Structure 1
Amino acid sequence: MDEGLDLRDVCIEKDGAILLEVNHRIGPGEVLTIMGPSGVGKSTLLSFVTGTLAQGFDAMGAVWLDGHDITHAPPHQRRVGILFQDDLLFPHLSVGANLAFGLRPGGSRAERLTKVEAALEEVGLAGYASRDSATLSGGQKARVALMRMLLSEPCALLLDEPFSRLDAARRAQIRDMVFDRARARALPVLMVTHDAEDARAAGGTVITLSESR
């Protein structure tokens, strides 16, 4: 099987003008970073990969994941996980309930609880399952959001500037945690950012876009 995330001759346009063009295969555990200022189409590329491209944009090319063409698949069938600038935790749910929301269907209640507890322990939050998610710090919320996404068992990981709202100390810690877990699970990673330090930390290939495109 041809594993990885393959962006085949992807071209995204708006009002007839090309925003970006990408032709790149991201292997398991590898990272492709798309760098550039706001407005050049970075997040739009992620929307195309997840199947949520907004009206007004036109996209050509294909997205293949682990040997399957997912270009026209419904978003919920694509097995693509994404982390945003905001953690998007449900404030009315406990930490454990937030994590359980990410679990794929199936399994007994005890099995699902075990998975939640193991995920919390993995990121240093053992015993936090019953905590009100609204009481967590920014770094703790980022860790819960990461593990909720990983519990959905994605086959690829997209990063939409997920570190930009963290302070410098937390940023480095969470960034390392995300890339370490992506490599451990052999997930291809597509990251968009305007921050050169994020790109350096990610390693891999960097494609830089300019406003003039």
Structure 2
Amino acid sequence: MDKGLVFDHLRIAHHGAALLALDATVAPGEVLTVMGPSGSGKSTLLAAIIGTLAPGFTLSGRITLDGTEITRLPPEQRRTGILFQDELLFPHLSVGGNLGFGLPPRLRGRARREKIDAALRDIGLEGFAKRDPATLSGGQKARVALMRMLLAEPRALLLDEPFSKLDAARRGQIRALVFERARAQGLPVLLVTHDPEDAAAAGGRVITLG
């Protein structure tokens, strides 16, 4: 069984016009960086992986994750986690409530609270469970978004320029945290970015589209 995220003759077209082609394997704990100008297909590639390709796009080939083909599965069955430029924390939920959203429903009561508290300690935000996400700094929001995604136990991590809106002081810190966590959990990582510094920090291979 092939572990990791595998693109087997993946081809994406837009209204019949070829957009991108990708043949690659991202092993557990490895980072594959995809770079390219706007319109080269970076966001479309992510949409293909998570199962949200827009009308007008067609896909051929296969995407497999830990030996299971996910090419045609509905998004909720793919077990892929994604971080965006914006943290997308739920404003109507506390910090703890946001983290709890990533936990399985079967985890209830005290066990659920302990899991949330442990996650907050893990990212240096102990005691923040009842805080309003609007009161957090950009770096704190990024840490909560990362941990919420990891609590959902994804099998692969997709990064859609998640560091681009952080100030320089926080960017390196959050970038290191994300890659460290992904490697520790053995997650294959696909990073989409315009920033050569992101690619350098990620290590691994770089593919340029367009």
- The reply on whether 1:34 has 2:34 as its aligned counterpart is yes
TM-aligned CA deviation for residue 48 of structure 1: 0.4
SS in 1 for 2:62: strand
TM-aligned CA deviation for residue 189 of structure 1: 0.2
Write out per-residue CA displacement over residues 24-82 of structure 1, whole angstroms, 9 at most, x where no aligned residue: 01000001110011111101101000011111111111110011011111100111000
What is the aligned-residue identity percentage? 66
State the AA in 1 paired with 2:179: F
SS in 2 for 1:89: coil
Tell me which residue corresponds to 2:65: 65
Tell me which residue corresponds to 1:189: 189
Tell me which residue corresponds to 2:113: 113
State the AA in 2 paired with 1:108: R
Runs of 4+ residues over 3 Å off in structure 1 = none
Task: Supply the distance in 2 between the matched residues of 1:172 and 1:21 (Cα, whole angstroms).
Answer: 31
- The reply on whether 1:159 has 2:159 as its aligned counterpart is yes
Tell me which residue corresponds to 2:9: 9
TM-aligned CA deviation for residue 108 of structure 1: 2.6
8 Å Cα contact 1:80/1:156 also seen in 2: yes
Task: Supply the distance in 2 between the matched residues of 1:142 and 1:30 (Cα, whole angstroms).
Answer: 21
Tell me which residue corresponds to 2:24: 24
Write out per-residue CA displacement over residues 132-157 of structure 1, whole angstroms, 9 at most, x where no aligned residue: 11111111000000000000000000
Tell me which residue corresponds to 1:99: 99
State the AA in 2 paired with 1:75: P
Write out per-residue CA displacement over residues 71-101 of structure 1, whole angstroms, 9 at most, x where no aligned residue: 1111001110000000000111100000001
- The reply on whether 1:148 has 2:148 as its aligned counterpart is yes
Tell me which residue corresponds to 1:134: 134
TM-aligned CA deviation for residue 15 of structure 1: 2.2
Q: Which range moved further: 10-19 or 119-128? A: 10-19
Task: Supply the distance in 1 between the matched residues of 2:31 and 2:88 (Cα, whole angstroms).
Answer: 23
TM-aligned CA deviation for residue 106 of structure 1: 1.1
Q: Which range moved further: 113-122 or 79-88? A: 113-122
TM-aligned CA deviation for residue 164 of structure 1: 0.5
Paired positions, count: 210
Task: Supply the distance in 1 between the matched residues of 2:2 and 2:131 (Cα, whole angstroms).
Answer: 42
- The reply on whether 1:75 has 2:75 as its aligned counterpart is yes
Task: Supply the distance in 1 between the matched residues of 2:50 and 2:190 (Cα, whole angstroms).
Answer: 12
SS in 2 for 1:24: strand
Structure 1 unmatched runs, 5+: none
Task: Supply the distance in 1 between the matched residues of 2:208 and 2:93 (Cα, whole angstroms).
Answer: 39
RMSD: 0.8
Task: Supply the distance in 2 between the matched residues of 1:207 and 1:105 (Cα, whole angstroms).
Answer: 38
Q: TM-score, normalised by structure 1?
A: 0.96
Task: Supply the distance in 1 between the matched residues of 2:26 and 2:104 (Cα, whole angstroms).
Answer: 25
Tell me which residue corresponds to 1:85: 85
Q: TM-score, normalised by structure 2?
A: 0.98
Task: Supply the distance in 2 between the matched residues of 1:11 and 1:143 (Cα, whole angstroms).
Answer: 34
Task: Supply the distance in 1 between the matched residues of 2:108 and 2:192 (Cα, whole angstroms).
Answer: 37
